[in-house]
Amino acid sequence: MHKDIATPVRTKEILEKYGFSFKKSLGQNFLIDTNVLNRIVDHAEVGENTGVIEVGPGIGALTEQLAKRAKKVVAFEIDQRLLPILKETLEPYPNTKVIHQDVLKADVKEVIQTELADCEEIMVVANLPYYVTTPIIMKLLEDQLPLKGIVVMLQKEVADRMSAAPSSKDYGSLTIAVQYFTEAKTVMNVPRTVFVPQPNVDSAIIKLMRRSEPAVNIVSEDFFFSIVKASFAQRRKTLLNNLVHFLTEGKEKKHLIEQALLSADIDGRRRGESLSIEEFARLSDELYAHFKEA
């Protein structure tokens, strides 16, 4: 029986054997606590028919725990120095595959079709590099992938923003983008002590389960997101002020913005963070009608 990778001793052994040094630029923090890893796999509800996509496997600590339960695990690793290490640590698990590629540039849909075609459901499970958490999650959501959900470890503050409620300080355009596609819930906080090297931020695990339909029905998705972005452009400004200043042609079309707010029954003196996703949908559709007909 081989020892789990995710113990302080075994991790140290592996890193020393390969003379591996952490790259700050890649946000490398490896997990050294099997309990936490198992909790992640539990929350992701990985079973024998699950295909898993992992991003940033490091030396394979989470990959190993996923491989024990999943049908197959495909991991994207950007750091070439980790490839020989993963080849060794994952050798006992023939149901794993490491792809040396930046997930942000990868055709994930194609990887799912070729590597995970015989899996009944697809989950993304990862301990994400903190500096690219948001772009990775947004890519996975916007690429219309056949995912059941995403369970990832990330910076606590980002998890708070993704699962925030309206009128809270964490609520913003990221909240709306994530909750438009998924039901978001922070399932546990994770202490810094379970990582090597220890990060200087707190971590959390968030669970994003894909909705069968987006949270709201809107005329144009791109337009909706541009309205959301403009509404939060400067948090202290009123909704009307932000829309006038940050929408293309907002200044020339101020009267149209005012009309749309009126039709949507939303007070322009409110701030962006007080609007629910449903109110944003209503406002976006009204603005779309006023702008496109004008």
Q: Where are the alpha helices (DSSP H) in 90-213?
A: 108-115, 133-142, 156-162, 173-181
The answer to whether the annotation marks 31 as part of a ligand binding site is: yes
* Better pLDDT: 40 or 130: 40
Domain match, 68 and 182 both: yes
Q: pTM of the predicted model, to two decimals?
A: 0.93
Segment among 10-24, 42-56, 207-221, 236-250 with least mean pLDDT: 10-24
Average pLDDT over residues 187-208: 92
Whole-angstrom distance, CA of residue 96 vs CA of residue 214:
32
The answer to whether the annotation marks 127 as part of a ligand binding site is: yes
Whole-angstrom distance, CA of residue 13 vs CA of residue 8:
9
Give the model's pLDDT for residue 220: 95
> What tens digit of pLDDT does each residue of 26-55 get?
667 889 899 999 999 999 999 999 999 999
Phi, psi of 74 (to 5 degrees): -115, 120
Q: Which two tokens stand for residue 171?
A: 């609520």
* Better pLDDT: 159 or 24: 159
Is 146 a member of any domain? Answer: yes
Give the model's pLDDT for residue 1: 54
CA 60 vs CA 65, 67, 73, 136: distances in Å: 9, 10, 11, 19
* Better pLDDT: 241 or 200: 241
Is 76 a member of any domain? Answer: yes
Domain match, 43 and 107 both: yes
The answer to whether the annotation marks 200 as part of a ligand binding site is: no
Is 163 a member of any domain? Answer: yes
End of a domain among 164, 187, 210?
210
Range of the domain at 77: 8-210
List the CATH number of the domain containing 148.
3.40.50.150
- Residues 285/263, Cβ–Cβ less than 8 Å: no
Mean pLDDT of the chain: 93
Domain match, 122 and 179 both: yes
Is 13 a member of any domain? Answer: yes
Domain match, 197 and 246 both: no
> What tens digit of pLDDT does each residue of 67-97 get?
999 999 999 999 999 999 999 999 999 999 9
Give the model's pLDDT for residue 292: 78
Domain match, 18 and 49 both: yes
Domain match, 49 and 159 both: yes
